[in-house]
Structure 1
Amino acid sequence: MSSHNKASKKKRRLIIRTAILTVMTAAVIYTLYANFTKDDRSKVAAGSMAPDFVLEDMNGVDHQLSEYKGKGVFLNFWGTWCKPCEREMPYMNNQYHIYKDQGVEILAVNVGEPEFLIDKFIKKHDLDFPVLKDENKDIMNMYGVINLPATLLVDPEGKVIKVEEGELTERKIQEMMESIKPTKGS
Structure 2
Amino acid sequence: MDKKKRRFYVRTLILAILVVAIGYTIYTTATKDEVRLLKVGAEAPDFSLVDLDGQTHRLSDYKGKGVMLNFWGTWCKPCKKEMPAMNNQYKVFKDQGIEVLSINQAQTVFEVENFISDFNLKFPVVIDKTKSVTRAYNVNNLPASIFIDPTGKVVRVHEGELTEEMLAEFFSSIKPE
| TM-score normalized with structure 1 length | 0.84
Over the matched positions of the two proteins, sequence identity in percent amounts to 51
SS for the counterpart of 1:118 is helix
Match of 1:153 among 107, 127, 147: 147
Contact 1:43 1:142 in 2 (8 A): no
**Corresponding residue number in structure 1 for 2:88:** 94
Amino acid at match of 1:160: V
**Corresponding residue number in structure 2 for 1:66:** 60
Match of 1:106 among 95, 100, 110: 100
Contact 2:36 2:139 in 1 (8 A): no
Aligned-pair distance for 1:15? 8.4
Contact 1:47 1:160 in 2 (8 A): yes
Match of 2:110 among 109, 112, 116: 116
Contact 2:51 2:126 in 1 (8 A): yes
Contact 1:42 1:142 in 2 (8 A): no
Between the aligned partners of 2:104 and 2:148, the Cα distance in structure 1 is 18
User: Is 1:85 the equivalent of 2:79?
Assistant: yes
How many residues align structurally? 175
Amino acid at match of 2:26: L
SS for the counterpart of 1:174 is helix
Aligned-pair distance for 1:181? 0.7
Residue pairs, 1:4-153, within 5 angstroms: 22-38=16-32, 44-153=38-147
Between the aligned partners of 1:43 and 1:36, the Cα distance in structure 2 is 17
For structure 2, the residue ranges without an aligned partner over 5 or more in a row are none
Contact 1:44 1:144 in 2 (8 A): yes
Higher radius of gyration, 1 or 2:
1
User: Is 1:170 the equivalent of 2:164?
Assistant: yes
For structure 1, the residue ranges without an aligned partner over 5 or more in a row are 1-8
Aligned-pair distance for 1:34? 2.2
Aligned-pair distance for 1:13? 10
Amino acid at match of 1:129: F
Contact 2:79 2:143 in 1 (8 A): yes
Contact 1:48 1:159 in 2 (8 A): yes
Stretch of structure 1 that moved more, 115-124 or 40-49: 40-49
